[in-house]
Amino acid sequence: MQVPLLLYIALHLLTCAAGDLPQGAQIPFSEKTLQDNFTGDQATRIAIIGAGAAGSSSAYHLRKFANDNGLPINITIYEKSSYIGGRSTTVNVLDDPAYPVELGASIFVRVNELLYNTATEFGLPTDGALSEDDPDAEFALGVWDGTEFAYKQSSGGTGWWDIAKLLWRYGLAPIRTQKLMNSTVSAFLNMYREPLFPWTSLTAATEQAGLLDFTAATGWQSLIKNGIGEKWAREIIQGSTRVNYGQNLVTIHGLETMVCMATDDAMSIRGGNWRIFEGMAKASNAVINLNAAVTSIEASKNEHGQKLYTIESQSTSDVGDSLTMTSSSHYDIVILAAPLQFANISITSSTSTPALKHTPDKVPYVALHVTLLATPHRISPTFFNIPPSKDGSAATSTVPAMVITTLPKSANKSATEIGPDGVGPAGFWSVNHLRSIPPDPYNNLTQPLHVYKIFSPTPINAKFLSSMFNIPYISNPPTPNDKHQDSDPISLLPSSHLPWYHTHLWHSYPYLYPRVTFEELRLDADADAALNHDKQSSSSNDIKGSLWYTSGIESFISTMETSALMGKNIAELIGRGLLVE
């Protein structure tokens, strides 16, 4: 499917919480390593907790900085899951490696220079299919409000007729959105370069980049202030914020709203975007401990009065053995590259000085239910109130290959709600046809299968799929607590109609409410000290014994790229601090 004008709406830009992956679902990366870890007492010992975008980026850029400047460092990565990549991971349809599909973060764009440049450096092909063209679909994209399609775009790219329809329905709103998005992206890119980079305070950097007005306002306020029409905002841009972040325009902040529209040159890595992060982690030549859950961090001092951290972790086998091994190691610097509220880590101090001078706030995260399925059926037109064709048959081809949802104009209450209460009449965020699988004797397939991905705020059940795909099934008897079979599991659907499915619940990203302050990067330092910190001449004594936090950036912009940027930013600050030793 080609990228429509402004409307290939970053459909899978998830930064979901790390989850389990079936063993063997990932393929080896051809290693591009930098300098080895050092031996002896002269090396600074750095622990990174979490091997997602932020953690792997921290490791990679720490090693690059150390190599460029002759710094002796040892890096150890702890990851509680069995794989590297965090919220970027794949699963195999029919458990066949020939058919990988993204379960988490699915695309990035050319302007994401960290991901793009790293993929280029590692020789990773960026032509991974976002989704295959569906030759039988008359429309590539549809925006559904729970009652009718507010907008449908024809298959085969964006022709003059599609552009004319856009301008006729929405006036100059698409053009104004493009200009506003371009100016916002330009301001954001200042955070990659001096004099802003590296920043010791995300709040200060946001203000200096000129982005605070966007984070302080809702998406709706930002759009209306800039002369962008309500119909375009509600039907198109809100469809984008819902599918990307599970929020409506009156709850999400304006900066993330603009991120949703920055979709030029969307791409993905062949085999899975996780390959970027696995490549970073391996190239850093860190000691990588998978299936290793950190349980505690204790701050203390050694015999010379130097601050250090003792990390305890529990390791399990990646084949599910019940045997658990506990280990303890000492480090000079720790980077916590995962949301603290989900990490289940005890952080204490054995001295009179508290380990934390700043504790990150607990913020609500979106509960995103992802349902992947393979079925010989296509979506039933009747699910979307599409009338039968003149001969009485259902016109399957009239269902768009990709359906995103918005709210009808009358749904004022739902617009201000979140989660299940904010999804409105549609009941789900999106459904997307990913690919078709031809008949295959190896998998005992006698007919083609169609692979779909559904995003929703609640678990998808058998009744929903039966209605969407016209699959017959024998429901459970009604109960007083479930009169409408809403809790019927997907497993009730016959395997002949649904030979494969996979579900996953992500804590995918924070609810991106408007805000003007963001979490501190250093958890062991006072906020004022961090803000006044001279990033060019910090003392080594200040850097050794430091505890850093990457996840604060997710309330600013929650993407793979920004998490990787935070990892690089912290690596640069640590490196510059060690350099003056």
314 contacts 295 by C-beta, under 8 angstroms: yes
Count Cβ atoms below 10 Å from residue 320 Cβ, excluding itself: 10
Residue 237 in tokens:
């841009």
442 contacts 405 by C-beta, under 8 angstroms: no
User: CB neighbours of 188 closer than 8 A, spacing ≥ 6?
Assistant: 209, 211, 255, 557
Distances (CA, A) of 405 to 106, 236, 238, 263, 491: 19, 9, 8, 18, 26
Count Cβ atoms below 10 Å from residue 321 Cβ, excluding itself: 9
pLDDT of residue 467: 96
Instruction: State the distance between the two ends of the chain, measured CA to CA, in whole angstroms.
Output: 54
Long-range contacts of 482-489 (CB under 8 A, 24+ apart): 485/461, 486/461, 487/461, 488/461, 488/462, 488/463, 489/461, 489/462
Residue 150 in tokens:
């507010």
User: 503-539 b/e with 16+ CB inside 10 Å = b?
Assistant: ebebbbbbbbbbeebbbbbbbbbeeeebeebebeebe
Residue 125 in tokens:
């092909």
pLDDT of residue 534: 53
234 contacts 409 by C-beta, under 8 angstroms: yes
Residue ranges of the chain whose pLDDT lies below 50:
1-32, 537-540
Distances (CA, A) of 401 to 5, 12, 108, 369, 487: 16, 15, 21, 20, 27
Token pair 């010992």 is at which residue? 45
156 vs 200: CA distance, rounded Å: 47
Single out the residue of 476, 430, 502 nearest to residue 143, CA to CA: 430
For residue 152, the cross-strand partners are 142
Write down the domain spans for the chain: 41-89+270-363+514-580, 126-156+365-474+487-510, 158-195+216-268
277 vs 280: CA distance, rounded Å: 5
The amino acid at 485 = Q
Count Cβ atoms below 10 Å from residue 124 Cβ, excluding itself: 20
Count Cβ atoms below 10 Å from residue 260 Cβ, excluding itself: 23
State phi, psi for 425 to the nearest 5 degrees: -60, -25
256 contacts 245 by C-beta, under 8 angstroms: yes
pLDDT of residue 34: 57
Dihedral sign computed on CA atoms, order 446, 447, 448, 450: negative
Looking at the domain 41-89+270-363+514-580, which fold is it?
FAD/NAD(P)-binding domain (3.50.50)
